[in-house]
Amino acid sequence: MMTSYENQVVWIIGASSGIGAALARELFKRGALLALSARRKDELDRLKLELDDTSKVFVLDITDPDMTLRTAHAIRASFGRIDRIIFLAAAYVPMKTTELDIAVTKGIIDTNLTGAFNVVHAVVPILKSQQQKGQLALCGSVAGYIGLPEGQPYSATKAALINLAESLHAECRDLIDIKLINPGFVSTPLTDKNRFEMPMIMQPEDAANAIADGLLSRSFEIHFPKKFTLLLKLLRLLPYPLSLRVTRKLV
């Protein structure tokens, strides 16, 4: 098990803003060598200027499987290895299930779920081929714990990501350290779209610190803030007649 980030090659996917950018700053302070990916090159270049020349920018559209595969191999060639891959890319537009915009829905699914599969397809063979056990972390959300009103299609993709991480852990745990990250509300450009009060909302820097600590732990799931996430876990454990009654009251 890798117990520090010193000289670790960490590929952060979704590093241009929000939790991804905050995590890049945190891991840089802890000694990591960073590969920074997102679609927006200008934002990545600005982030790199805050860090140093050991950090490298790799522009990536994760909805493109060939580009994702090429980028993974380019990062390995550039650094010689990849120790950790952290998938934080996400798209979000709040929508009621009864009022779906199908074009927007497809875009969210392509980024959040198909993009995750593209990354898994690209990096699992690389991690398995390396001598030292590497790490793959997928970012779900507490929104994936249970179907909540006006959370679709984002919540559905996050539920699928939770399932994907569980499957990967069952299949690959002997060769790869699989982690699942399930944040509560974090103040980012995505949550700025919400028009409701977000309980126990955290700042990106606090979320980044929680993730950085959690990735070094033996736990499969990293979830925070605990007071909020444990309540939702409890709701998920209730029988459907009770849990659905609670969620109906949220409409």
Residues serving a catalytic function are: 154
Alpha helices in 80-175 (DSSP H): 102-109, 115-129, 154-172
Cα–Cα separations (whole angstroms), residue 158 to 61, 134, 139, 191, 212: 19, 23, 8, 15, 20
- Cβ-based burial of 53 (10 A; exposed 0-12, middle 13-18, buried ≥19): exposed
